[in-house]
Each structure stands twice: as C-alpha cells, then as structure tokens.
Structure 1
Amino acid sequence: MTEPNPLHIRTATPDDVAAIAFIYGYHALHGTGTFEEEAPSNEDMADRLARVHARGWPWLVAEKDGRVVGYAYAAQFRDRAAYRFAAEDSIYIHPDHMGAGIGKALLDALLPASAEAGFQRMFAVIGDSANMGSIRLHERTGFDHCGKLDKAGFKFSRYLDVVFMQREI
C-alpha cells in the first residue's frame, strides 16, 4: 500500500524561494538553530540559493501535498581552498511539520548529493546544545560528536553553545 501523501524530495528552484524564506525566517525569529536574529528577505534567500547552485552544491526541498515543508543544503564548511572537500549541512523544517521525519528524509538525500558534488566529509554546526531534535537527527544519521563551543552566541537574552558533529560521506 502506498502512503496517501508521500514526501517528495527534489532540487530547490527559484520558485521555492518564498517558502524557503518563510521557513528560515520562522527559525531566525523563534528558534536557536540559527544565530540570525532577523528574517532574511526573499531576495536574500534567492541570492543564497543562487550561490549554492552556482558552486554545484546541493540544495533540496521536501514537498508534501504540493507545499514545501522543509529544505536542506550543503555548502563548503569554510571559505578557504583547503576546505573544498568538507561540507556543512543546513536543515530547516516548516513549523507545522517538525518531528515528522522530514529532516531525516532530507539528510538521507543530502548525503549522497553532497558526495556527488565532491564533498567527502560533512559537519553539522548545531546552534544551541539544547537543540536535541537536530542533535538526535544527526546521531541517527551516523554523525559523531566532535566538539562544543560554550557561549558562542547570545540570542533571546541567553548564551547559546554550538555543538559540532561530523561524518564521512
């Protein structure tokens, strides 16, 4: 029997920018997974998408019932030539769909897409050591803990740690 409303993972397009901006904006304004404190404009998100695509890196969306319910992308870990084989992932889920396995589906698709783009190792740089959803997602997908930066950020009137995780891809 097929799932009545299957999740579809595909490459993001410029038509997805408004949905991507909404999802990320929600997390910027209400969450600690990103240390941005303001929601970027659609134009800003379009520029980010274009930069990732221009480098040949993967940016995926999860679609359910014709709506984008999450996205994930991989980009070079740091902007120095020696990092060219190391990626950092970013995964954000629509607030109405968190905890439904969408992040896992996106990360499962992002890993091979990142390998195809030439990356050999992926890092997760997780905002807030209390972000157990993201930490558990990465653990379930084969990431190992490799460090923590204490009080690296300050958002919502409190200090936030950054958790580092990694895996081969």
Structure 2
Amino acid sequence: MTQSLSSPSRQGDLPIVRAAKSPDAVQIAEIYGYHVREGRASFELTPPDRTEIAGRIEAVQSAGLPYLVADGGDELLGFAYAGPYRLRPAYRFVVEDSVYVTAEAQGRGLGRILLQAVIDEATAAGRRQMIAVIGDSANAASIRLHRTLGFTEIGRLRSVGWKHDLWLDSVFMQRALGPGDSRPPDR
C-alpha cells in the first residue's frame, strides 16, 4: 500500500497512515515507552518523555525523512520512521527504519503497512538503502516483517545489549530503495 504524506489514506477498517505531528508525541511516547520498559527490541532503558519524542520527530522530518503514525481515530496504534543511518556525509543516502505498534494492534498487519509507507517515502526522498537494526535475535516477528518487505539479513552482533538481565544480539538487515546501488545517486 503506497501512501503519500500529503494524502493520508484509509484502507477498509485500517487506520489512516499520516505524517506525525507535534501533538502525537504524547501517544508515541506511550507506545514506545511500553516497548522500552517491557520489550527487548529497543536497547533504550529509560523511556523518553514526550518532549524528547517531539524533538526526535522534528529532527527526522527536518531531514526530509518520513515519521509516520497509524491513526485509528481515537488513538494512535503505531508509528514508524526512517532516520539517518549514520551522520557522516558518505552515509547520506542510507536510512535506518524503526517500527512500533501498540500491544493490542500487534499481529494485525499494521507494522507491515507502516513500514511499507516508510519505504515508499524514503525512496521518494532519494534514499538508496534502508537498514534495520533489530534488537534481540529472538524477535522473530520483526525479522519476518522485514524479510517480507524485501530485507535480507546481513549480519549479527552477538551479545551487544544488556537488558532485562539478558545479553541481547542485534540483527542487521538491509534492502535497496529505488535503484539502490545500480547507478550513482541524484545530487
């Protein structure tokens, strides 16, 4: 499902996928905070507050990259974005994705809708590669989601995160955007 940031769309009972706005920071902080506290996908240990989240939204969007939410009408059901992979200039055509949905919305295909929209928007923004850094090699749902959308595993960092009294791996996955590396980037 391809959606433009300028024209949010709804498909059947599915939520509207649209660009995040500053007031969304409250609900995004709640969604992400749950995953920070309870899960192993994020290696953050303390959930960021809404002010920090608002700053993150602004930074991503100011870089011309997508920060999207799944708006269910009464509440946000998830969010996804593509941020810079690394800050050194040679990496400027590479982004890293993040996708989080509420516990109640998991398993309904919402992560796939959000990630596909982020892929589409990052491609439209001229990016050429997308990297997924998946916390916890046991995170089968995220690995499967990324594989379904064309990512391939390119490596694992073993035991690089200590959270919930466990050593956790990071799984790296990658996919080309647009023409990928088949031709030089547009300047």
Pair 1:9-2:17 in alignment: yes
Question: Which residue matches 1:64?
Answer: 72
SS at match of 1:115: helix
SS at match of 1:38: coil
SS at match of 2:45: coil
Deviation (angstroms), 1:6 = 2.7
Deviation (angstroms), 1:66 = 3.2
Question: Which residue matches 1:93?
Answer: 101
**Alpha-carbon separation, structure 2, partners of 1:118 and 1:6:** 28
**Alpha-carbon separation, structure 2, partners of 1:108 and 1:52:** 17
Question: Which residue matches 1:129?
Answer: 137
What's the TM-score, normalizing by structure 1?
0.96
SS at match of 1:9: strand
Pair 1:46-2:54 in alignment: yes
Deviation (angstroms), 1:64 = 1.6
Question: Which residue matches 2:148?
Answer: 140
Q: Figure out how many residues of one structure are paired with residues of the other and give that number.
A: 167
Question: Which residue matches 2:167?
Answer: 159
- Matched residue type, 1:43: T
Question: Which residue matches 1:117?
Answer: 125
SS at match of 2:14: coil
RMSD of Structure 2 on Structure 1 (CA) = 1.0
**Alpha-carbon separation, structure 2, partners of 1:51 and 1:91:** 17
Which deviates more, 141-150 or 59-68? Answer: 59-68
- Matched residue type, 2:159: K
The answer to which structure has the higher strand fraction is 1
Deviation (angstroms), 1:96 = 1.3
- Matched residue type, 1:76: P
- Matched residue type, 2:23: D
- Matched residue type, 1:85: F
Pair 1:103-2:111 in alignment: yes
Deviation (angstroms), 1:19 = 0.7
Pair 1:150-2:185 in alignment: no
**Alpha-carbon separation, structure 2, partners of 1:79 and 1:32:** 25
Deviation (angstroms), 1:53 = 1.2
- Matched residue type, 1:102: L
**Alpha-carbon separation, structure 1, partners of 2:65 and 2:74:** 24
| Off by >4 Å, runs of 4+ in structure 1 | none
